Amino acid sequence: MIGRLEELCWRWRWCLGLLWLGIAASLPMWGLSRVQLRLILMIALYAMLGMGLDLLVGDTGLVSLGHAGFYALGAYGCALLQVRLGWSFWAALAGAGVLTAGVGLLLGLPSLRLSGSYLSIVTLGFGEIVQMVLRTWESLTGGNYGLRGIPRPTLFGLELTLANGGLPALALILATLTALFCRRLRRSAPGRALRAIRDDPLAAQMCGIPVPRWKIAAFVLSALITGLAGGFYSAVNGYLEPTNFPFNTSVVILSVVVIGGAGTVRGAVFGAALVQLLPQVFRGLEQWRFALYGLLLVLVMRFRPQGVLGWRSRVSYRLPGKEGQCTYPAKG
Amino acid sequence: MYLSCQGLTMAFGGLTALNDVSFQMEQGEILGLIGPNGAGKTTVFNLLTGVYVPQAGVMTFRDRDLGRLSPRRRVRAGICRTFQNLRLFSGQSVLENVLAGSCLRADYGFFDMVFGTPRYFRRERALGREAMALLEKLDLTPYAHSPAGALPYGLQRRTELARALATGAELLLLDEPAAGMNEEEAEALGKVLRALREEGKSLLLIEHHMSLVLSLCDRVCVLDRGRVLAQGPPGEATADPKVAAAFLGGGREYAGS
Amino acid sequence: MTLSSAVNGFLGAILGGLALGMAYGLIAVGYSLVFGILRLVNFAHGAIYALGAYGVFFLTSRGMGLLPALILAAPLSGLGAWAVEKWALAPLRRRGASGMAQLVTTVGVSFLVQNTLSAEAVFGSEKQVFPSLNAFGSVQVFGVTIQSSQIIMFLAAMGLLLALTWLVQGTRLGLAMRACAQNFRAARLVGIPVEAVVGLTFFLGGACAAIAGTLIGGYYQVISPTMGSLIGLKAFSAAVVGGIGVLHGAVAGGLVVGVGECLAAQYLGSNVRDPMAFVLLIAILLVRPRGLFGREGVEKV
């Protein structure tokens, strides 16, 4: 059944895409409440964060526990470029992306020497160090007092806010672009190279894949996407403080990836929705909701360790191109 | 000279795996590398492909010094290998494995990919077609979409061969391609390998299947305890009493057919 | 600042760091033993540490003495850790799930335990005052004041670590543990009850963490439900710095991290204190990718 569904989605992908675009663009006109709009925005944002981390975790097999660090760098970078240098939001967002990608390059370097859990720990340390820098460098970041007065982004003179639906729409667009990018990457030679490295680095190297280069590239791309999400988050929040980016955030981003199913866009979207909706659903239980959230993580892993939507695609590999149809029928 | 190894020496800690090993290979030749277990055959492959760096010795391929090339550049130069204990990307399908092998020939830029330029689509389509053609040639088409790790052993070996071929290599280093096969399957493999030679590929192969070695190889190079014991046409080299002693004597077990 | 006060400050930081570092070592062995066998970073370990401290807190607030409370709470925390392995992790291993799934499971457990502790109906999220370890005030050594809590922490942790070393190096159980760490599948094949060994390893790690929680809680005289997350990360860094899977490495790593952070707090400011463990971690891993005492493995092709 899943195979049929995938096949249908593939056949009607252009229509689905247009439909999705319509939904995203008309979001401001739906008359949703602020709470609902914020929820949509946060789901889109976490889907984006999840997809960014997924490039490392799902595709390259490198588990990062420090993505809150990239998230924070993107947020602070974007905010500071606006507040201190007077850049426009869009320029600052791009600048923040470049900044985090550069830091991603630096953090990728240890991945050439360290493997598996050792690398995870270095990324974890990275996240903590970013927090320390944000706390300590008071003249730049405002330290523990935080950074206030971050302007809202404007588009053609119109200020994008939560209330007018502009920010959620922007979130959906950013998440969609990220999803398209990830999908394209996975269907291309670079994506195949990353998966080869994930499954067997030595065999990948013996196939002529430049393992160090692609590991670093994965870090850079992952950091770039996470940094852009961070920049966007700074615009949403309007103020920033170091406690916005604790280790728990890194864990939540990782949960987004793993709960839905690593290496897939649908998994990231599902994981993001779950992570954001659960606290809402369990709101009635007030003090117990985070405990339940932990329990749910355990249960999902216990009964579906590959992730809730982590099935192996039943639709065969497709060659890209205009004829894009299912070139070779799936077996079985 | 096509491929030449001169004085290769490699020691791990106190254990000398290779001691002054020299051999040469002509283009289009099938050279068998045989010898008892632990003779250092796989180490030769590891040196040729750049997994290890030899302590001494020179390797050249088409008169280029391999020692100066990274593992990746050696594949680019045209040398690719398979593994004794299969190293497939076992969670991925057979087709994906082969496509992983052809990654290095995807000569489009990052921006071609992001923006989907005609060049990108042209190259990706070409790679896909080549991969399918390769599967067809190795009789793997029915399994194209099966996870490689779930296939029977013989098919996995062929998938690994397909992956190595997908890199576009012209010199294939095959590490026991017939291991675990019965006579019939080994015979079929022999046919495939001969066909590859007809296409102009050169093969350096480690093999314990003596009947395959004798029928397939133009020459063999016998290694024992890290030294070259004998070289020459298969009949002559294996007739050497020293070789017989190495294989049968010394209480060592010979794991051939 | 006079020379002598500078020297005293330095010595004080070193001695305080050694005491704290020994307790870190006690937590770190839990990470190290589990990682050695399962190649798994057990993020639930920090929560077990907090659980142990809260267990002692609960019992002492009901009028029990500190030591009897600890003797009761430590095995109970060990059982908690054992249950996590038995009910959440072992089934995953049987299914052959990825390491990532196991990692996320331990993260989930840590969320569950921490947030249960901080629920209002249980202990609440506020900090609680913990009974002090200061049994006999403080002593003066070369003009440096040492709290008795520091001495107790150092000696207790060292005693336990010595006992643990004896257990791992000198008993049949330890032999089984080392066999599992070396080759899990081979250990199973030669008839070692690997699941029981893993369970016991979790139990030991959990009990040690609970004791460390009591020692550190008594040293700072304050506990909170989230006390385990940061210290857990530091202790894990310590385990990696020392060379994970190596018992004396965990202790050495703990001492390095403890002294490092006390020196950092003394000379670079208190903001630098907590991240110091990670700075040390990255610096040492870059120079020695397997940690101070870790062994380099050669991959067979």
Average pLDDT over residues B112-136: 91
Question: Per mean pLDDT, which range of A26-30, A227-231, B65-69, B196-200 is the poorest?
Answer: A26-30
Per-residue model confidence as pLDDT tens digits over C248-300: 889 999 999 999 999 999 888 887 888 888 888 888 888 887 888 876 554 55
Supply the range of the domain harboring residue B25.
1-78+169-257
DSSP secondary structure letter of residue B69: S
Query: CA nearest C298 in B: which residue?
Result: B12
Q: How many CA atoms lie within 13 A of A307 on its CB side?
A: 28
**What phi and psi values does residue C14 have, to the nearest 5 degrees?**
-65, -50
Per-residue model confidence as pLDDT tens digits over C94-121: 887 777 788 888 888 998 999 899 887 7
Per-residue model confidence as pLDDT tens digits over B27-40: 999 999 998 888 88
Last residue of a domain, one of B132, B163, B194: B163
Q: Is the residue at B84 inside a domain?
A: no
Last residue of a domain, one of B147, B163, B179: B163
Per-residue model confidence as pLDDT tens digits over C217-239: 988 888 998 888 889 889 988 99
Q: Do B104 and A190 touch (CB under 8 A)?
A: no
Residue A150 has pLDDT above 60, yes or no: yes
Q: Is the residue at C296 inside a domain?
A: no
Q: Is the residue at B85 inside a domain?
A: no
Question: Per mean pLDDT, which range of B159-173, C128-142, C143-157, C220-234 is the poorest?
Answer: C128-142
According to the model, what pLDDT value does residue B77 have?
92
According to the model, what pLDDT value does residue A42 have?
93
Q: Is the residue at C2 inside a domain?
A: no
Q: Is the residue at C297 inside a domain?
A: no
- Residue among B91, B106, B125 whose CB faces A189 most closely: B106
Residue A325 has pLDDT above 50, yes or no: no
Quickly list DSSP for B24-58: EE-TT-EEEEE-STTSSHHHHHHHHHTSS--SEEE
Average pLDDT over residues A154-165: 80
Q: Is the residue at C109 inside a domain?
A: yes
Q: Do A189 and B91 touch (CB under 8 A)?
A: no
- Residue among C104, C112, C233 whose CB faces A124 most closely: C233
Residue A136 distance to chain C (closest CA, Å): 6
Residue C199 has pLDDT above 50, yes or no: yes
According to the model, what pLDDT value does residue A316 have?
52
Residue B132 has pLDDT above 60, yes or no: yes
Residue B61: CATH number of its domain: 3.40.50.300
Domain count for chain C, please give it.
1
Burial class (CB in 10 A: 0-12, 13-18, 19+), A6: middle
| CB-CB neighbors (< 8 A) of A204 in chain B | 89, 100
Q: Is the residue at C298 inside a domain?
A: no
Average pLDDT over residues A109-113: 81
Q: Is the residue at B216 inside a domain?
A: yes
Mean pLDDT, all residues of chain B: 88
CB pairs under 8 A between B and C: 5
Domain count for chain B, please give it.
2
Which tokens sit at A78? 């974007």
Q: Confidence class of residue B241 from pLDDT cuts 50, 70 and 90?
A: confident
- Percentage helix, strand, coil for chain C under 3-state DSSP, each rounded to 5: 75, 5, 25
Per-residue model confidence as pLDDT tens digits over C46-96: 999 999 999 999 999 998 888 899 999 999 999 999 999 999 999 988 887
Last residue of a domain, one of B122, B145, B163: B163
Per-residue model confidence as pLDDT tens digits over A259-291: 888 888 889 999 999 888 887 887 777 677 778
What value of ipTM does the predicted structure carry?
A: 0.88
Q: Is the residue at B12 inside a domain?
A: yes
A154-168 in b/e form (b: 16+ CB < 10 A) is eeeeeebbbeebbbb
Residue A138 has pLDDT above 80, yes or no: yes
Average pLDDT over residues B144-165: 90
Q: What is d(CA A141, CA C101) in angstroms, rounded to the nearest whole number?
A: 36
According to the model, what pLDDT value does residue C183 have?
86
Per-residue model confidence as pLDDT tens digits over B41-74: 999 999 999 999 999 999 999 989 998 899 999 9
Q: Do A200 and B88 touch (CB under 8 A)?
A: yes
| CB-CB neighbors (< 8 A) of B12 in chain C | 298
**What phi and psi values does residue A188 have, to the nearest 5 degrees?**
-115, 170
Mean pLDDT, all residues of chain A: 85
Considering the domain architecture, whether residues B174 and B257 belong to the same structural domain is answered as: yes
Higher pLDDT, B54 or A26: B54
Considering the domain architecture, whether residues B65 and B174 belong to the same structural domain is answered as: yes
Q: Is the residue at C3 inside a domain?
A: no
Instruction: Provide the percentage of residues in chain A whose pLDDT is more than 90.
Output: 38
Helices (H), chain A: 2-11, 13-25, 34-54, 67-83, 89-108, 116-136, 138-141, 166-186, 189-199, 201-206, 211-237, 247-260, 265-281, 289-303
Higher pLDDT, A203 or A13: A203
According to the model, what pLDDT value does residue A314 have?
55
Residue B156 distance to chain A (closest CA, Å): 14
Residue A303 has pLDDT above 90, yes or no: no
According to the model, what pLDDT value does residue A313 have?
64
According to the model, what pLDDT value does residue A330 have?
40
Quote the pTM value: 0.86
Q: Is the residue at B230 inside a domain?
A: yes
Per-residue model confidence as pLDDT tens digits over A165-199: 788 888 999 999 999 999 999 989 999 999 999 98
Residues in C lying within 8 Å of B, measured between beta carbons:
298, 301
Considering the domain architecture, whether residues B177 and B253 belong to the same structural domain is answered as: yes
Supply the range of the domain harboring residue C14.
8-287
Q: What is d(CA C5, CA A203) in angstroms, rounded to the nearest whole number?
A: 60
| CB-CB neighbors (< 8 A) of C244 in chain A | 117
Per-residue model confidence as pLDDT tens digits over B65-102: 998 899 999 999 999 999 988 899 988 899 999 999 99
Q: Strands (DSSP E) along B153-218, which ranges?
A: 171-175, 202-206
Residue B242 distance to chain A (closest CA, Å): 35
Q: Do C271 and A293 touch (CB under 8 A)?
A: no
Residue C100: CATH number of its domain: 1.10.3470
Average pLDDT over residues B188-201: 91
Q: How many CB atoms lie within 10 A of CB C171?
A: 11
Q: Is the residue at B83 inside a domain?
A: no
Do residues C247 and A111 make contact, with C-beta atoms less than 8 angstroms apart?
no
Domain boundaries, given as residue ranges, for chain A: 34-246
Residue A215 has pLDDT above 50, yes or no: yes
